[in-house]
């Protein structure tokens, strides 16, 4: 048996026997709540094991007869492997945490007759409101919007282009330039051709009026001053075509808000949003949804600044229409000469030419940045940077009209009396039709441009320090934004009959009870109910301690050997104290090595250890690494090498934590090591006693999925899709993860199911097979938490990914249709909740709402199944609740069942003794997707390369995870 797969059994003698498979409902059929009337059954399948059946007595998955045997590899072999006996625990009863209420609720639960086809899926209506938990009041940053009901909004299509007119293309100008042209059109024609109407314009093709214009189609000639840097700032003529497109009836919107119409009237909502965005577009710098201003900008370092601003969006919610307003911030380029920015960005001397790596970095960060010249008659003319010259500025020359060669340096001296000092650096390439070379010192970065590249650790720290606000401060600043926008006196709001409240929305919230956690019976505290979202390991031992008999360590930092050895000794002592079986001595004594030889050292260390252990048929289980001081560079190298080549889990430690040995730090590292070698830290008492709603009634697999995209400014790297799945029903504490690369910025996960020359495959199929191997059960239910999906992608993600799940199940066995609940997890939204009252009954120590706070009324969707849950305690700043939106539910969860289950799972996160802000399966999927980006060979790509999606090239796959690594929670 592989020593890395060993886990300590619990202390009771019954721990070695097989658990009873009895569900809560006794003899109830799968999918029926105890005591409920019989429901129509789906077509006969082999996916419903008896509630009392033990593992090996279940029928195995059978391949479809039409498939060749090679298409279903190892189905029989993995079925024949009996599952390890799950650990048993003492049957001590936990406190009655809403158990009686849940039991009554489960009796009322009804299940749909059969899993529907994903093609026929419709928006899921809310099954009701939750009742479990202590009620209290909170405020939300949603401001009620009322619209005059009898108004009809007319939508017109706009096309504009400079004369002479070649074609009508709205993309001919930026949004700001287009708004300037239309504003001039309105100023000149409002009282005449526009019939006194005040239109709202979005900067592209859409113009809205509160009533019909006197014409259905008309062209206007408009003259505006070109302030984009032409020498004479001359007037430019534009041709603007306005043509009627459609109407947006507010009556349909009101029917949707009242639940009488299911299809959302998107055009009406878009029109109202454009109207309310018109005033801030005139006063601030719009960038996407938010608006920014440079007042009080904070310096972040490396010639970047942090601009503050606000986000606003009109949303249909339970109480009607609301305007969601939140504070935001973003890094911007500092408006300075380009040479000064580059000097700060690279920390290089101007007397030395760029290396190839420096050239690539500077070109990547400056590409598409707008600059203005600072010399001569072309002062303030603006250009967009296309790239950098390959030659140094002093080597650049051109032929004049007489054919004489002139260098760029000579040109600037003779024409403008400017001495170019940075002659060793390349010049900027600008211009559309003709390529123009501009020395960096002759250009200045235009103000108000977002810095879209990855920030350094120092910049991130500075940004968090500048923008972190306590809840009361954030609440007051949001109210200041509302007052400053002055919607009551806004000309656009009055024109369209819109009124916006100046008060935050009041919401009825509930604080869900914290779950009871189970620890090992050998500890003094066998069970624990967390307080305000956190607890500790004092007087407790982990429920399943991993075994580490063969390990090694290496030091790549400047920490001296004695200090490093003392740290390793304390770490091992902590691992043993919390309940792990850990050999004190490493296979190979501690080594201190130069980080420049990191990869060579790790390979050599692994080979030496394997040569020693091969005599006993053992393998190296764990590698502990002290990273160099510049740890961000080397961390990824360690993980890539260990997980894709050496087949070993690793634990990295920063050198600053070695000197100041903190018990809390040692405890957290020990918890991470335990799950990496196959142990469990804690489980829910309700899970062990089969009291979790629905998921412990029948074998249930819980998935988490996420897609991470390249950082802004990266136009070539693939997106990374990750899927994790629970492997230890009913405990639900261990998750196995898989990753896959896919097309640049593609959100739909492509490799959930696929068919190759070897037969059917994909991440869902592999994880279902793994679940069966580990538990001896076929999943009767699937709970799928999907992270990272925006509202506009709900229908597409649900359709395609549900189809992939269905195909993966059907490839294992004909008519195998486990019931699926598909939940989208959204963290990147702008809803904030504030306590209505101060005090311990309403806030935690940071002044935030209490962990376990759930809101499923007022600010939620008018009809669909969603809720906001703040499952974590705040540490600094204002807590952000997570938004859960249920797109499909064939398992028949009630609102409070899913809310309570999700909140309880947030207490099982393996890396710390705190509840976390998003449900752990989704959290783990994000971790493994982020980890897999280290596997990419980033040195071979640069920002100038086109993405695979745009060029049609296939995506280069990630290096595969090694077999032993992917069995464990290596990503923790």
pLDDT digits (tens, 9 = 90+) for 912-932: 999 999 999 999 999 999 999
* pLDDT confidence of residue 813: 93
The mean per-residue pLDDT over the stretch 118-144 comes to 87
* pLDDT confidence of residue 237: 86
* pLDDT confidence of residue 277: 95
What's the angle, vertex CA 218, arms to CA 154 and CA 155, rounded to 5?
15
Tell whether the model's pLDDT for residue 133 goes beyond 90: yes
Read out DSSP for 197-239?
A: ---EE-SSSEEEESS--S-SEEEEEEEEE--SS-TT--EEEEE
The mean per-residue pLDDT over the stretch 326-333 comes to 94
pLDDT digits (tens, 9 = 90+) for 437-452: 999 999 999 998 999 8
CA quadruple 791, 797, 799, 802: dihedral positive or negative? negative
CB 889 within 8 A of CB 31: no
End-to-end Cα, the chain, rounded Å:
24
Tell whether the model's pLDDT for residue 939 goes beyond 70: no
CA quadruple 843, 847, 851, 856: dihedral positive or negative? positive
Per-chain mean pLDDT for the chain: 85
* pLDDT confidence of residue 890: 96
Tell whether the model's pLDDT for residue 101 goes beyond 50: no
The DSSP letter of residue 169 is -
Which residues contact residue 581 at a Cβ distance below 8 angstroms, ignoring those fewer than 6 apart? 8, 545, 546, 547, 548, 549
Could you give the count of Cα atoms lying within 13 Å of 322 in the half-sphere of its Cβ? Answer: 23
* pLDDT confidence of residue 233: 57
pLDDT digits (tens, 9 = 90+) for 377-403: 767 788 999 999 999 999 999 988 788
Distance CA 347, CA 624 (A): 33
The mean per-residue pLDDT over the stretch 527-535 comes to 96
* pLDDT confidence of residue 163: 58
Tell whether the model's pLDDT for residue 846 goes beyond 70: yes
CB 325 within 8 A of CB 500: no
Residue 390 CB neighbours (<10 A): 12
Range of weakest confidence among 279-283, 714-718, 784-788: 714-718
pLDDT digits (tens, 9 = 90+) for 478-502: 999 999 999 999 999 999 999 999 9
Tell whether the model's pLDDT for residue 6 goes beyond 50: no
Closest CA relative to residue 679, chosen from 548, 774, 522, 553: 548
Residue 532 CB neighbours (<10 A): 17
Q: What percent of the chain has pLDDT over 90?
A: 69
Question: 92-96, 710-714, 961-965 — which one is most confidently predicted on average?
Answer: 961-965
Q: Which two tokens stand for residue 645?
A: 């080549």
Which residues contact residue 358 at a Cβ distance below 8 angstroms, ignoring those fewer than 6 apart? 346, 348
Q: What percent of the chain has pLDDT over 70?
A: 83
Tell whether the model's pLDDT for residue 305 goes beyond 50: yes
Closest CA relative to residue 786, chosen from 805, 806, 771, 808: 805
Range of weakest confidence among 374-388, 421-435, 532-546: 374-388
Tell whether the model's pLDDT for residue 44 goes beyond 90: no
Residue 244 CB neighbours (<10 A): 16
Distance CA 245, CA 158 (A): 10
* pLDDT confidence of residue 938: 52
What are the residues facing 884 on neighbouring strands? 825, 867
* pLDDT confidence of residue 224: 87
CB 808 within 8 A of CB 764: yes
* pLDDT confidence of residue 102: 37
Residue 146 vs residue 74, higher pLDDT: 146
* pLDDT confidence of residue 76: 38
Tell whether the model's pLDDT for residue 119 goes beyond 80: no
pLDDT digits (tens, 9 = 90+) for 576-593: 999 999 999 999 999 999
pLDDT digits (tens, 9 = 90+) for 769-787: 999 999 999 999 999 999 9
Q: In a 10 Å sphere around its CB, with 0-12 CB exposed, 13-18 middle and 19+ buried, how is residue 70 labelled?
A: exposed
- Measured in whole angstroms, how far is the alpha carbon of residue 762 from the centre of its chain? 22
């Amino acid at each position: 048996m592989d020593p890395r797969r060993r886990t300590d059994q619990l202390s009771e003698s019954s721990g070695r026997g097989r658990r009873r498979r009895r569900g809560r409902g006794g003899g109830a059929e799968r999918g029926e709540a105890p005591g409920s009337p019989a429901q129509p059954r789906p077509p006969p399948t082999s996916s419903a094991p008896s509630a009392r059946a033990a593992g090996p007595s279940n029928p195995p998955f059978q391949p479809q007869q039409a498939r060749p045997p090679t298409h279903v590899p190892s189905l029989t072999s993995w079925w024949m492997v009996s599952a390890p006996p799950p650990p048993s625990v003492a049957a001590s009863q936990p406190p009655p945490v809403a158990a009686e209420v849940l039991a009554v609720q489960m009796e009322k639960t009804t299940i749909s007759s059969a899993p529907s086809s994903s093609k026929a899926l419709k928006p899921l209506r809310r099954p009701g409101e939750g009742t479990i938990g202590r009620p209290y009041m909170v405020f939300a940053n949603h401001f009620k919007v009322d619209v005059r009901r009898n108004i009809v909004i007319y939508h017109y299509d706009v096309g504009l282009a400079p004369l002479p007119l070649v074609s009508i293309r709205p993309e001919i100008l930026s949004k700001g330039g287009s708004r300037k042209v239309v504003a001039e059109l309105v100023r000149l024609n409002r009282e005449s051709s526009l019939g006194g109407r005040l239109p709202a314009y979005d900067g592209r093709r859409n113009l809205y009026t509160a009533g019909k214009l006197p014409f259905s189609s008309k062209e206007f000639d408009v003259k505006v001053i070109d302030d984009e840097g032409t020498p004479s700032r001359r007037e430019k003529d534009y041709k603007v075509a306005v043509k009627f497109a459609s109407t947006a009836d507010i009556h349909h919107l009101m029917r949707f808000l009242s639940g009488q119409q299911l299809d959302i009237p998107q055009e009406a909502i878009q029109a109202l949003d454009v109207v309310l965005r018109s005033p801030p577009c005139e006063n601030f710098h719009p960038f996407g949804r938010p608006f920014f201003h440079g007042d009080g900008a904070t310096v972040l370092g490396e010639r970047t600044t942090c601009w503050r601003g606000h986000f606003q969006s009109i949303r249909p919610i339970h109480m009607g229409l609301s305007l969601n307003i939140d504070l935001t911030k973003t890094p911007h380029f500092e408006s300075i000469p380009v040479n000064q920015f580059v000097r700060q960005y690279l920390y290089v001397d101007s007397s030395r030419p760029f290396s190839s790596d420096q050239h690539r970095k500077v070109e990547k960060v400056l590409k598409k940045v707008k600059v203005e010249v600072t010399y001569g008659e072309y002062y303030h003319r603006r250009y967009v940077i296309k790239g950098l010259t390959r030659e140094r500025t002093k080597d650049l020359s051109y032929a004049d009209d007489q054919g004489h060669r002139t260098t760029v340096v000579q040109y600037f001296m003779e024409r403008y009396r400017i001495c170019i000092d940075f002659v060793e650096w390349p010049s900027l390439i600008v211009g559309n039709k003709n390529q123009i070379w501009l020395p960096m010192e002759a250009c200045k970065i235009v103000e108000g441009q977002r810095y879209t590249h990855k920030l350094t650790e120092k910049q991130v720290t500075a940004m968090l320090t500048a923008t972190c606000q306590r809840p009361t401060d954030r609440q007051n600043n949001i109210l200041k934004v509302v007052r400053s926008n002055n919607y009551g006196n806004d000309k656009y709001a009055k024109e369209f009959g819109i009124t916006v409240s100046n008060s935050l929305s009041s919401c009825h919230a509930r604080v869900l009870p914290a779950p009871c956690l189970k620890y090992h019976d050998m500890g003094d505290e066998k069970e624990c109910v967390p307080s305000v979202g956190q607890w500790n390991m004092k007087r407790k031992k982990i429920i399943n301690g991993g075994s580490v008999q063969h390990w090694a360590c290496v030091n790549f930092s400047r920490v001296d050997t004695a200090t490093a050895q003392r740290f390793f000794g304390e770490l091992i002592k902590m691992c043993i104290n919390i309940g792990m079986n850990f050999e004190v001595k490493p296979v190979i004594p501690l080594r201190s090595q130069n980080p420049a030889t990191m990869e060579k050292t790790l390979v050599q260390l692994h080979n030496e250890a394997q040569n020693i252990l091969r005599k006993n048929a053992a393998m190296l289980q764990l590698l502990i690494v002290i990273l160099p001081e510049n740890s961000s560079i080397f961390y990824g190298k360690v993980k890539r090498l260990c997980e894709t080549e050496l087949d070993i889990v690793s634990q990295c430690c920063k050198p600053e934590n070695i000197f100041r040995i903190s018990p809390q730090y040692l405890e957290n590292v020990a918890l991470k090591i335990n799950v990496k070698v196959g142990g469990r830290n804690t489980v829910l008492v309700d899970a062990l006693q089969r009291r979790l709603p629905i998921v412990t009634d029948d074998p249930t697999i819980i998935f988490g999925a996420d897609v991470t995209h390249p950082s802004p400014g990266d136009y070539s790297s693939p997106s990374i899709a990750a899927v994790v799945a629970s492997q230890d029903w009913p405990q639900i504490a261990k998750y196995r993860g898989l990753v896959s690369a896919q097309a640049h910025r593609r959100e739909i996960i492509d490799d959930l199911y696929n068919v190759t020359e070897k037969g059917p495959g994909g991440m869902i199929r592999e994880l279902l097979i793994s679940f069966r191997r580990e538990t001896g059960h076929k999943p009767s239910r699937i709970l799928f938490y999907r992270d990272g999906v925006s509202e506009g992608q709900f229908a597409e993600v649900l359709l395609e990914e549900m189809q992939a799940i269905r195909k993966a199940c059907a490839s294992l066995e004909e008519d195998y249709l486990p019931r699926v609940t598909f939940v989208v997890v959204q963290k990147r939204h702008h809803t904030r909740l504030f306590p209505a009252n101060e005090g311990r009954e309403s806030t935690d120590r940071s002044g935030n709402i209490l962990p376990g706070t759930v809101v499923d009324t007022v600010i939620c969707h008018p009809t669909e199944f969603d809720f906001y849950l703040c499952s974590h305690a705040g540490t600094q700043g204002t807590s952000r609740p997570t938004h859960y939106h249920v797109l499909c539910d064939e398992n028949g969860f009630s609102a409070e069942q899913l809310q309570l289950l999700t909140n309880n799972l947030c207490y099982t996160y393996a890396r710390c003794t705190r509840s976390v802000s998003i449900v752990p399966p989704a959290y783990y999927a994000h971790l493994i997707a982020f980890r897999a980006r280290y596997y990419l060979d980033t040195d071979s790509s640069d920002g100038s390369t086109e993405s695979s999606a745009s060029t049609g090239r296939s995506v280069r796959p990630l290096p595969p995870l090694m077999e032993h690594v992917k069995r464990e929670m290596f990503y923790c």
